[in-house]
Amino acid sequence: MSALFEPYTLREVTIPNRVWMPPMCQYSAAPEGPSAGAPGDWHFAHYAARAAGGTGLIIVEATAVSPEGRISPYDLGIWNDTQVEAFRRITGFLKSQGTVPGIQLAHAGRKASTERPWNGGAPLGAEAHGWQPLAPSALSFDDRHPVPAELTVDEIHAVVGRFADAARRALDAGFEIAEIHGAHGYLINEFLSPHSNRRTDAYGGSYENRVRFALEVVDAVRAVWPDGNPLFFRISATDWLENGGWTADDTVRFAAELHAHGIDLLDVSTGGNASGVSVPTGPGYQVPFAARVRTETPMPVAAVGLITEAEQAEKILANGEADAVLLGRELLRDPAWARRAARELGGAVHVPDQYHRSV
């Protein structure tokens, strides 16, 4: 059997194949009012199409644990019961297609309150549904972004509680896997990296202090997330800085700690925390970071980054570089990528009765 189409079990959840969809923001929720942050028709159609296409696990886009944790005013959120009810429509359909529904719990930190990317992505003020971003230190991401407000220790503890509350709601909404967003220059990543964390208290300075917030979030979420359900963590394995940033060595060290705190799989990406850096992109360019974690720690991993072809994905798994692959842009282009890959590799994938003529 093709490795790409072997089921994969974590705790008590079995994912039917190793073709997974990573979180990709759609910036399509209402920015204010009673439905603010709730998924709508666009989100349902978007995720339903990939489930009908045979994707084994769909991790719903970065979903904010609080209003100020959104990347943009148009992001999804899971801080109230209206949002929970709207998500149930999506999780119910995904399960009906044999797809495992996952959700990424997120806080954007200093990169919050921005316009949608196709409108330029510029920071927004209060006149355009914007707000004051929060961060570990009063350091802006770049010259365009405002200086964020530095979180107090009490505010840090409150954010930890917000992640736990969001996890409870995610379970109520029907999600079977939760992922904590610790990558791409958002709040948890900002605490991890010395590039963005200049604190001098218990949450800054040494490696042990800089990982404290992330581990507190993990512990708080794991405490309310059922023992039988997997918990993922997404990480940027490197800031791509020559000096003064988070490194691949840090990631390997941290992965072992995350595993000891109850994280079941590391979703390995890179970058996003430093502006103006040069990233050597190419097919599978982030896979070596995932492979190193898998080799040097007990942590299972998923690889991401310009994985586009069925044979390429199969080789990553067959070589033991990852336990699963996450296809982003390719699943945007082709919602039925898993079905096509199954035909190429001789694998089996769920096909809705209505689409039986496509097999």
State the Cα torsion 27-130-233-230 to the nearest 10°: -70
Q: What Å distances lie between residue 253 and 250, 272, 296, 345, CA to CA?
A: 5, 20, 9, 36
HSE-up (13 A, CA, CB side) for residue 213: 35
Residue type present at position 92 = G
Residue 150 to residue 343: CA distance in whole angstroms: 52
* Residue 186 falls in the annotated catalytic set: yes
Residue 120 to residue 263: CA distance in whole angstroms: 35
- Going by the DSSP 8-state scheme, the letter that residue 134 receives in this structure is E
Indicate which residue of 186, 203, 285, 355 is catalytic.
Answer: 186
Residue 76 to residue 105: CA distance in whole angstroms: 10
**36: which strand partners?**
30
Here the tokens at position 304 are 């991401």
**Measuring CA to CA, which residue among 129, 132, 43 is closest to residue 94?**
43
Which residues form the catalytic set? Answer: 186
